[in-house]
Every structure is written in C-alpha cells, then in structure tokens.
Structure 1
Amino acid sequence: MMFGKSRTCNFAAVPERGQPECNVVVLGVMGSGKSALTVKFLTKRFISEYDPNLEDTYSTEEIVDQQPVVVKVMDTADQDGPVNCERYLTWANAFLVVYSIDNRLSFEGCQQYLQTITLHTKALQPYTPIILLGNKLDMERYRQVSQSDGSALASRFGCLFFEVSACLDFLSVQRVFHEAVKEARREGERSSPLRPLYISEDKPLVSLSSAASFASPRYTELPAPTTAKLVTVKSSRAQSKRRAPTLTLLKGFKIF
C-alpha cells in the first residue's frame, strides 16, 4: 500500500494487519543530519552523502517495550523551512526536530519548526509529542550549541531533549526513535480511558529534560507527497534475525 493511502490509528490493532502504527516525522534544516539519523535507525549504518532534495518515507517493524509496532519515518526535505508543512503536521504521531551541535544556524533554524508545531497543535486536542535532538555528538570539539542551550530550548517548548551521534552510536539513535513511539503511545492511551495505562521503565538518555504534559497525537489521512516513497525494512530488534536491507531502495545514499 502506497504512503498516504492508509489510515493511521491511535495505537489500536489494525484489523487487517494486526499491528499498531506510529508516524514519526524528522525535521530540521539541511545539513543537520536528518537522513543520516533515519538511515542509521533503519539499517544500523552511517551515510556520508545523500541528496538533500529527496523526501522519503520508510517503514520498519519494531519491538518497543515488548510490544510490536510499525514505525513509519518521514525524512523531510524542506527547502525553505516549515513553509509548506501541512503534509506532515496532521500526519505525524511524533516529531523529531534535529539540529547539529557544531552548527549554530541549524539550532536557530530548528526553533522555527518548534514554533510551527506548537502553534499548530496548542489549540488542538490531542497534542503531538516532540523530541528536540542534537546530532553530531562526535563533533564535540567543534561544538557551537551547548547542552544547556538545547535543554533550555526543550524546556521552553515542553519537549524531550537528547544528544546523539548518527555517525557513531546506533543504540542511542534507536532509543530516541523508540522514545518517540513510547511518548505517542502514552498520549494515545491517556486520551482513551478504556485502555490500560502504558508505563515505561526505561532509563532516559543523556541530556534528557522533563517533558511537559501532552495530550495524545492527532491522527488524520494525508495525500502522498510527489517525491515520497515507502520502503519496508524488517527490524533485527525483534527476536528473529533481521534480513539485510535492500540498500538499492535507499536511493541517493552512499552506505558504509
């Protein structure tokens, strides 16, 4: 089924597929490492070059807190910031807003995304969780954005905050995406009193700020972007061994 044709759900089992779904949108200015983070999560590999003009949507089957979920990740390609953003604002169950710790301009640019998201969702019930993510932790010696700056911005917008390296650390990247799923799941269950409360006991990552009270994410149908395509990757994080991904489907990337 092509992206944009299927309806998302509020973490209830999809009757025809038997698994819940979570839509995660990755935002940030060009050069912040959005695609590197996305591909690291999907394949455990790091990309050094990619086409910044491509916008792709990928799907992977994950096990999050012993519960299966289909995670759909939209790797966005906004050329002029959050201008034409309706395609993902009403589609997302969670947002990852990414900046590079060695690029102050990328940090300033991500503030526009945070403002756009909160302006869109503050009058809505339910609310969509947001994670502010400082990337390129391996570039520590060139750091231009301090952890305190990132934490302060996250507190200002009431979102979670992490720092990771798409180049070095797969587990931290994986846990950030899983945290996005957990937050969306929690908010979905808060808005559904008949469902049992979902509680996570996982420890937070480095530089995690307290999240403000959220309402559950909004779920609506979205027409597919003209450049979007859906790639399905089986996750090795289930108990069975993962098949090697078909790297030719990640067109425009150089995988190492």
Structure 2
Amino acid sequence: MRLIPREWTITGVLVTNLAAALSLGLPAELWRVALAVAAFLVHLTTFSPLFETASRRAVHWPLVALNGAVYIPILWSAELPILAYLFALSAVVLLVASHGRVRTAYGYVAGLALYASLVIPMRYLLGRPDAAELYGLALYVAYFVAYALYVESRLAFRNVDCAVPLLFWAPAAGFLLGSNPLLVVPAAEPTASLLQNYRRCQKVGDLESIKKMGKSILLRSFLFTALLIAAVRLGSTRPFAMS
C-alpha cells in the first residue's frame, strides 16, 4: 500500500492545512497538537488506497470511518453549520466515489474541496477558532476550490469554461473580505490570476505543461497561505498561544 499520495497536490494541501491550523495559534494543551498531527497523518497515509478503491467504483468504508473518527473530539465544540457543511461535502464525495467518478472534473474539484476543508476541523482540534479565523479559513477553502476549477479550465481535455473559476472566486472572496479588510492582501494575487485566465483562456494538453502549471500553483498557494495567516492574525483578538 502506498503511504504518500502519488497526487502531490493532495500532499501539498494537507501539509498546508496543518501549517495553517498550527500557525493561527497554538493551544496550551500539547495533546491537542498531537490530535491535529494524528489527523494529518491519517489523511496523508489513507488517501492513495481511498482513491484507488474509488476508481473501481467502490468505497473503502473502514478507511472512511478512520478519517472521520479522528474528528470525534470536535463534535461537542464545533457549531452545527460547520458540522453540516463537512458532512454534506463528505456525502457528495462519497457519492462521486461510489459511482467511480473521482477522475472527472467535478470529482476532482469535490475531492480537493473536501481535503482543503479539513483545515477547519483540524483547527477545531486545536481549540475553537474565533470569527476572524473562521472567515480566513473559509477564504482558504475558497482559494483551493477556485484553483481546482482553474486547473480544470486550463486542461485541453476538459470542457470547463475559463470563466467558471472567476465566477466562483469573485463572489466568495468579495463576501469574505467584508469580515476583515486585511484579507484583500492575500486575495489580490488569485483575483488577478483568475481574471487573466478568463481573458486569455490558454489550454494545455501535454504532460510537461500540466506539471509546470501544477508546481506554479502549489508555490503560489504557499504564498497565499502565509499572507492569509498574517492577515487573520492581525485581524484577530486571540493571542498566538491560546489559553
């Protein structure tokens, strides 16, 4: 069984999730950090068998249960809308997986949306986030969903319009910027990039160009996350070391 995902995009998202969750503030209880790291390791080491099983139109239920079990501690602290969102998105991905559609455009976007969204329960494992953090994490998830759509819109063998990523990102980012004006700093580059993609709409089809595009997106996601964390920390009243 392959422990590290062959899909390095997922590895990058999971690493960024853990870094973002920890960077927003460390709890006084070290066991909380251990829970977050354990969740990260579970997701990292189970993705490949989950994906391979889904490719055969099946669901690896024991591993699905394990991925959910790591978040049992947050059931008593996370707000109902947060839990409802996570359960609904998980249900969509499981439905896609059970029909063997994980390699389609919407399967890819739904899967990446779920894995990016894991930053939210991971943050709850460290302690209940404040409003500024939740809005920041929502922008974080919106970013990764927008760029999943961006990738699909660039691929010559996909039929995704280049306007779709921008149409998703613009209203989501516009709404969330109202919660913290500082979020305009991390939001600036993806907005310009997605606008440029809409205007140029250059498709790629060869493997080398696709890999180059993916690496560029991953590096930009690290910059976005760093700027986002700084903006959220400056807009939050919570100290870095949480009591």
- Does the TM-score normalized on the shorter chain lie above 0.5? no
Structure of greater relative contact order (alpha carbons < 8 Å, 6+ residues apart): 1
* Max Rg structure: 2
Q: Which has the higher strand share?
A: 1
Length-normalised TM-score, structure 1 = 0.29
